[in-house]
Structure 1
């Protein structure tokens, strides 16, 4: 599967809320997930390896009280890279409702996603 096909598949699954399925299908076993440097206390950190990435996603889901909505943009693809803009309207347990938006950047090598990195404002 080429980078464009992978990007479209990732977007398709994320729009359904099937993030772990996207990781199972598209990620390399040693993929890395990178958060913003200096992320606020309580934020999830970086993860290395597919099992750690699954666990990071499960921890995020456990923090969510109610998901009110969200969007996933069409991908922008160049070479072995693609990016997707995502937004969420979410109520976190004990922290209230918030609007989040981020730019997600993915690197593909050997037909698999080898890294994902997230960029967002920390307001």
Structure 2
């Protein structure tokens, strides 16, 4: 699967809220997930390994009371890298309803996502 094919598959799955399914299908077992520096050491911080990425997703989902909408841009591809803009309209248990927008950057090797890195404002 080319980087473009992986990117298009991830976008399609994310647009349907199939995050965990996408991780199982498209991520390498030793993939890493990187958050902005201010978030790196928190409960939603940096992790390594598919199991840790899945657990991080479960922690995020546990804080969501309702997903009102999600938008994912078409991917922008450069070699083995691609990026998308993701915007989610969610109601969080702790924060109420908010719109979260981030740039998501991914690296693909051997047909699998080996790295995801997120860029967003952390309020600091």
**1:89-110: CA deviation from partner (whole Å, max 9, x where unpaired):** 1111032111110000000112
Match of 1:57 in 2: 57
Could you state the TM-score of these two structures normalised by the residue count of structure 1? Answer: 0.95
Unaligned runs of 5+ in 2: none
Q: Which stretch has the larger CA shift, 92-101 or 49-58? A: 92-101
Structure 1 Cα separation of the partners of residues 25 and 4 of structure 2: 15
1:10 alignment partner, SS class: helix
CA shift at 1:42, angstroms?
Answer: 5.7
Match of 2:46 in 1: 46
Match of 2:37 in 1: 37
Quick check: 1:20 aligned with 2:39?
A: no
Could you state the TM-score of these two structures normalised by the residue count of structure 2? Answer: 0.94
Match of 2:3 in 1: 3
Aligned structure 1 segments of 4 or more residues deviating by more than 6 angstroms: none
CA shift at 1:87, angstroms?
Answer: 0.3
2:117 alignment partner, SS class: strand
2:107 alignment partner, SS class: strand
Number of residue pairs matched? 123
Structure 2 Cα separation of the partners of residues 38 and 87 of structure 1: 20
Quick check: 1:103 aligned with 2:103?
A: yes
Unaligned runs of 5+ in 1: none
